[in-house]
Structure 1
Amino acid sequence: MDTIKSKLGKGGLLLAALGIMSIVLSFFNYNIRLLSWIDIWGNTMGWII
């Protein structure tokens, strides 16, 4: 059970880091391909997610 919790925690940390990098890179008109699916719903929904 601890290994699953550890892996989920690392995955969440990775997604959070990618989200922060995406925010910074959006100022340079660049988007991380892994997170580009969020743009389908528009800018406001991207910030909510």
Structure 2
Amino acid sequence: MPGSARLRDCEVLQKITSRQAEEKRLYGAICAAPAVTLLPWGLLKRKQVTIAFSL
């Protein structure tokens, strides 16, 4: 998932998304990004998450 990995490695995006979480504001991701990006940043801890995929 090269797109999600690029998002994960973007420090600016991580700062913006982490600030959203700290301020208890909404944030989200689609496709593989929740697992590849938000999970390593620690933004899915103690959260109710919905993931949809198709085979």
Identify which of structures 1 and 2 has the higher relative contact order when contacts are C-alpha pairs closer than 8 Å and 6+ apart.
Answer: 2
TM-score of the two chains, using structure 1 as the length reference = 0.36
Higher-helix-fraction structure: 1
Instruction: Please give the TM-score of this superposition, normalised by the length of structure 2.
Output: 0.33
